[in-house]
Amino acid sequence: MTGAEPEDTEDTEEMGETEGAEKTVRTDRTDDDGSHRGALGEFGTTSGAFIERTFREKILLVGVTLPPHTDDDTEAGLDELELLVDTAGADVVGRVVQRRDRPEPATYIGKGKVEELRALAEAVDCDTVVFDDELSPAQQGNLEKALGRTAIDRTAVILDIFAQNASSQEGKAQVELAMHRYRLPRLRGKGGSLSQQAGGAGGGLGARRGPGETQLEVDRRRVLRRVHKLEADLKDIAAHRVTQRKARKRSRTRLVALVGYTNAGKSTLLNRLTGADVLVQDRLFATLDATTRRLDLPGGETVLATDTVGFVRKLPHHLVEAFRSTLDVAAEADMLVHVVDASSPDPDAQMEAVRDVLGTIGAGEVPELLCFNKVDVAPDAKRLADRHPGSVAVSAGTGEGIDALLDAIAERLRAGTVAYDLLVPFDRGDVLAEIHREGEVLSEEAGADGMQVTARLEPSGAARLERFVIPRAAGTPR
């Protein structure tokens, strides 16, 4: 079952029908009854999934090369889409590509190509066609009609995977919200028209049709109600998160966020660094919930390290929106460790995609340490690290390079601080404790008038402790 199931189980009845109804589902698909999951004449069935779970669907991929991109870009996009489809639990049986100056408004690909796609879909007996680019609701509807089968896009596949992997209450609510928002403009009446339909089973779902109301209106009202409920729930959870953040700020513990492309090895690295026990899988989007652990750095500072949800090219904006409060972790962090899979076919493209998303969520300005991972299987990792000054090459798997990474993190965090000499009266143990909490104590010695301390402090800490700071002679390096 997916995590996107409404809690008030309005749809239990319909879901029950789908369970084990393998044959029916398959034959239904070839009837042109408008009940495709993509444009969703039948909102609410199959527990919200875009890709069938009761059997492995056969899927055709469609990629379009638009300027300034090359055919190689399109193939690389489709390679990744194939991985996404596989992760979602379906099999790719073929690809269709087209080069165009711009998408065809009605069907994204040209008329002749639609015909070719339909013939191929029939020949290979595929269940669903997946486009690598986002389709408008109208394009999706037109394509489904022309092809006689479900047409979805990369966004739907990613939403589907997220729905399968969400486990926390917040994660589930976020995915469900993103799915509903994606679906709302795609709701159609059965048969593909906005026809007046008998209420049918819908009448029992707590959203009875009023006089003159179409089934479509009932569906839309029901989804909107659910969207509002989810938004309210998520707001409550976000408020709790704010409280936690305030507590962290008060304790002045700094936060290091591990960010990066999906499957780069962020969770493996968190486990390696902190002994956490986060699920690691050779699977896209294994992590949807951030895990945070204490991390002791060389030099004595203890920080918090947090794992985050992975990014991907063309990450659906509905998801970014819905996951805003989770993604805020990166924007709030004192520093990002950007984990890059050095063994991936195109690490640069992945880094670019990650930076795009970081910019979108307001984390573009957070200091970033590049960490090329999987050096054990990527001979290129060291060369990549050389090309990016200040970066490190590691293997989260074997532990190679981890000490250097820890040093680099400690040093980078220190870079924002300045060393000060302080004189603290002997009876001010509280101030001494504060210095230890706020900064990194480099030396500490009892003098004639009190404790003489040299410590690295952030500007805010230095301002608070100003009255204990001894001015250094001009020209003395700090």
Ligand X SMILES: Nc1nc2c(ncn2[C@@H]2O[C@H](COP(=O)(O)OP(=O)(O)OP(=O)(O)O)[C@@H](O)[C@H]2O)c(=O)[nH]1
Q: What residues line the site for Mg ion (CB under 5 A)?
A: 267, 286-287
Q: Which residue of this chain has its Cβ atom nearest to ligand X in the complex?
A: 310
Q: Which is nearer to Mg ion, 142 or 267 (CB)?
A: 267
Q: Which is nearer to ligand X, 36 or 154 (CB)?
A: 154
Contact 63, 78 (CB under 8 A): yes
139 binds, among ligand X, Mg ion, none (CB under 5 to 8 A by kind): none
Q: Which is nearer to ligand X, 260 or 461 (CB)?
A: 260
197 binds, among ligand X, Mg ion, none (CB under 5 to 8 A by kind): none
Task: Classify each residue of 111-134 as buried b or exposed e, where b means 16 or more C-beta atoms within 10 Å of its C-beta.
Answer: eebbeebbebbeeeebbbbbbbbb
377 binds, among Mg ion, ligand X, none (CB under 5 to 8 A by kind): ligand X
CA 276 – CA 357 distance, rounded (Å): 26
SS3 content of the chain, % helix, strand, coil (to 5): 45, 20, 35
CA 316 – CA 321 distance, rounded (Å): 9
Q: In the 8-state DSSP scheme, what is residue 192?
A: G
357 binds, among ligand X, Mg ion, none (CB under 5 to 8 A by kind): none
3-class secondary structure, 383: helix
29 binds, among ligand X, Mg ion, none (CB under 5 to 8 A by kind): none
Q: How far is the CB of 287 from Mg ion (least distance, A)?
A: 3
Contact partners, residue 463, CB within 8 Å, separation at least 6: none
Q: How far is the CB of 225 from Mg ion (least distance, A)?
A: 34
356 binds, among ligand X, Mg ion, none (CB under 5 to 8 A by kind): none
Q: What strands, in cross-sheet order, belong to the sheet with 469-470?
A: 440-446, 451-457, 418-424, 469-470
376 binds, among Mg ion, ligand X, none (CB under 5 to 8 A by kind): ligand X
449: left (phi over 0), alpha (psi -120 to 50) or beta: alpha
18 binds, among ligand X, Mg ion, none (CB under 5 to 8 A by kind): none
Q: Which is nearer to Mg ion, 108 or 285 (CB)?
A: 285
Q: Which is nearer to Mg ion, 113 or 266 (CB)?
A: 266
Q: Which is nearer to ligand X, 174 or 395 (CB)?
A: 395
Q: In the 8-state DSSP scheme, what is residue 476?
A: -
CA 467 – CA 423 distance, rounded (Å): 9
Q: Which residue of this chain has its Cβ atom nearest to Mg ion in the complex?
A: 287
Q: How far is the CB of 393 from ligand X (least distance, A)?
A: 10
Q: How far is the CB of 262 from ligand X (least distance, A)?
A: 4
Give, in order, the Cα–Cα distances in Å from 142 to each of 22, 31, 41, 210: 26, 16, 13, 30
The token pair that represents 441 in the structure block: 């104590």
Q: How far is the CB of 137 from Mg ion (least distance, A)?
A: 32
Q: How far is the CB of 365 from ligand X (least distance, A)?
A: 23
Q: How far is the CB of 284 from ligand X (least distance, A)?
A: 6
Q: Which is nearer to ligand X, 60 or 81 (CB)?
A: 81
Which residues contact ligand X (rule: CB under 6 A)?
A: 260, 262-268, 280-287, 310, 373-374, 376-377, 395-397
Q: How far is the CB of 422 from ligand X (least distance, A)?
A: 42
Q: Which of 35, 55, 33 is nearest to 44 (CA)?
A: 35
446 strand-pairing partners? 451
